[in-house]
Structure 1
Amino acid sequence: MLTLSCFDHYNAVAQTGLAYGRLGTGLPSPADVVSLYNRNNIRRIRIYDPHQPTLQALGGSNIEVILGVPNTDLQNVAASQANANTWVQNNVRNYPSVRFRYIAVGNEVSPIRGDTSQYVSFVLPALRNIFNAISSAGLGNQIRVSTAVETGLLGNSYPPADGAFRDDVRSYLGPIVSFLASNNAPLLVNLYPYFSYVDNPGSISLSYALFTSDGVVVPGGIRYQNLFYAILDATYAALEKYGASSVEIVVSESGWPTAGGTAATVENARLYNTNLIQRVKTGTPKRPGRAIETYIFSAFDENQKNPEIEKHFGVYQSNGQPKYAISFN
């Protein structure tokens, strides 16, 4: 029996987690990574695949985990309930002292992205099969099953109250959202004001993206202090248009690069991430007073990723020293 605590997913304390990607050379061992998290009071982690040494290192750490089903595993897991049961046995049930919080079935799979569109037909059946496997294991009250999407699925995001998903993702996303709603699971959203800013520098100020502005008043008279809140509320509005106002959002990635592109500096990354940790403690204009469960991307730079900007989102250097002053307390 897994030694997992029951906790309220939707009144989560505003303790920001940190994603741990491994697509880099010279990174510390998983055991050293867990030690780094413990030293810095980082109590939540997102990992992108069931890397056995990482799961072993997390055992007994009391760090809550988002575990990814990689996109490359989706077809196999979707193919049969037996395959999903085996996946859950090997990667969840075999680690009884790991505190699994969510299973993220696929990451940024989208019919409008050429690099992931081949996985679209597998996401919903994989979700169902993993959910059934988790439920059959008696873990349905502890572990929620979801998928992680990107905000590029939004067709409209301004003003936030008019947020709507693109018409050409409805047939893909609608059934997934219905599945989440029926199972009291959140939608995991990778939300990057950085990319919104660099794509629209003429209409979005850097200070608005970095949480340092006085905010803007959007049509309807609502003041938004920062771009993160605005994109998040636009995504909530889009969910409401799918009839899924009960679905909460967990921000499964957000961050700012320290090099490699426009406005990608150590100081801007420090401003963004340190302000983010504070701002997620309170809610958005649409959902005031509700902490926003959020995971910063990423623990380390990943020099094996492309394009160049993707290599530089790390908060810590490979020796465990922070690139800039940051506190997860």
Structure 2
Amino acid sequence: MFSMATPSNSPMVVATILFNIAFLFLSLHSAEAQIGVCYGGNGDNLPSKQDVVNLYKSNQIGAMRIYSPDQTLQTALQGSGIKIILDVPKDNLQSLGSDQSAANQWVQTNVVPYASSIKYIAVGNEVHPSDSEASSVQPAMQNVLNALNSNGLGGQIKVSTAIDTTLITNSFPPSNGQFTDSSYITPIINFLKSNGSPLLVNVYPYFAYINNEAQIRLDYALFTASGTVANDPNNGLNYQNLFDALVDAVYAALGRADAHDTAIVVSESGWPSEGGDAATTVDNAGTYYMNLISHVKQGTPLKQQGIETYLFAMFDENNKQGAPTEQHFGLFSPDQQPKYGQLNFN
């Protein structure tokens, strides 16, 4: 017990001790996984933007991803405590990458008035090396960061891009993972390293499973396997679920790109409840989301630290293009009723 009569208990020393305790607590807390939910608006029957924000708050969901600027939604988010990933849409990449003034205007309009709620800017989503916009991704990232810096926001908002795991080859065993096109990804990785930004990664065991059902077990994809399913002979790590294997393959690819310290944020992950084969059921989707929320707190075999993770998505979207499953990734029905009981997002 401290004695207030001793010199070691001067106000400055006590303050230093308290600061160190607080710093330790914050450090431990920051290693925990924050759960967010992506908000997609491709539906003609969805709640108002204010009702959406209220639903996030009532379910204690503290983070959101939106795929394009939305002034009505961003205004409703102000003061809510909800932090967002704000995407630069694909059709803006070439103009922002080639013209600093365009990036300045984009940031001035879509970021500056709402800066207190923005955590990351995702410059492009799932852009592939063969896409016409590919060469614009890293220049647009730099120009957006320049615009943030000119508004004093560069230290507050991190700039990144969101990739999918098809950019990783040799993904099993995970330690063999590497990026498929170094000419595309290397400038992006160098930007992330230079600016202390995470790599945003969309991770979908569901798609890996349905594309290789002969080799991948359903319980491995749903986090329900009772023991080790796969082993990495290069490092002896054991894998009980496919999510960990996919994420660790990206970590391995980052390591090969000399970016060992670059963090991963899982910017999308989900499981459809209908519209596909026998695996797309409400039970399987609910199992996946519940287990994902619980699992990411502990990290992966390679990186045993919490992973910030965004579930896809808040609502079923009846106007979503693509396979029928694309309309059924919602955690909630458009009438705001939960599809899977009361998930614990907090």
Of residues 75, 83, 87, the one that matches 1:56 is: 75
Distance 1:15 1:94 in 2: 25
Match of 1:185?
A: 197
- Is 2:256 aligned against 1:241? yes
In structure 2, what is the equivalent of residue 81 of structure 1?
Answer: 100
Which of the two has higher C-alpha Rg?
A: 2
Residue 303 of structure 2: aligned partner: 287
Aligned twin of 1:216: 229
Q: Which amino acid aligns with 1:32?
A: D
Q: Secondary structure at the match of 1:95?
A: helix
Which has the higher mean CA deviation after the structures are superposed, 140-149 or 215-224?
215-224
1:258: how far off?
0.4
**76-85 vs 49-58, which moves further:** 76-85
Over the matched positions of the two proteins, sequence identity in percent amounts to 52
Q: After TM superposition, list the pairs within 5 Å mapping 1:4-153 onto structure 2.
A: 11-96=30-115, 98-112=116-130, 117-153=131-167
Q: Which runs of 5+ in 1 are unaligned?
A: 1-6
1:327 maps onto 2:327 in alignment? no
Shift of 1:66: 0.4
CA contact (8 A) 1:148 1:190 kept: yes
Give the aligned partner of residue 4 of structure 2. none
Partner AA of 1:244 in structure 2:
A
Please report how far the alpha carbon of residue 12 of structure 1 lies from its aligned counterpart in structure 2 after TM superposition: 4.8
- Select 1:269's aligned residue among 285, 289, 295: 285
Contact 1:208/1:215 (<8 A) preserved: no
Q: Contact (CA 8 Å) 1:12, 1:293: kept in 2 or not?
A: no
Normalised to the residue count of structure 2, the TM-score between the two structures is 0.88
Name the aligned partner's letter for residue 25 of structure 1: D
In 2, the alpha carbon distance for the partners of 1:12 and 1:100 equals: 20
**Superposed CA offset, 1:171-213 (max 9, x none):** 1111111111111000000000000001111111000100000
Q: Deviations over 1:79-124 (max 9, x none)?
A: 211111111110111225x421000000000024xxxx12112111
Distance 2:99 2:191 in 1: 18
- Distance in structure 2 (CA, Å) of the matches to 1:318 and 1:38: 17
Rounded to whole Å, the distance in 2 between the matches of 1:21 and 1:34 is 13
Q: Secondary structure at the match of 2:169?
A: strand
Inter-partner Cα distance in structure 1 for 2:280 and 2:319: 18
Higher mean C-alpha displacement, 35-44 vs 220-229: 220-229
1:94 match: secondary structure: helix
Secondary structure of 2:259's partner?
Answer: coil
Give the conservation status (yes or no) of the 8 Å contact 2:121–2:158.
yes
Task: Give the TM-score normalised by the residue count of structure 1.
Answer: 0.93
Q: Which residue of 1 aligns with 2:187?
A: 175
- For 2:241 and 2:230, the matched residues in 1 are separated by 11
Q: In the TM superposition, what is the alpha-carbon distance from 1:13 to its structure 2 partner? A: 3.3
Amino acid aligned to 1:253: E
Match for 2:97: what amino acid? A
Q: Pairwise CA RMSD of aligned residues?
A: 1.6
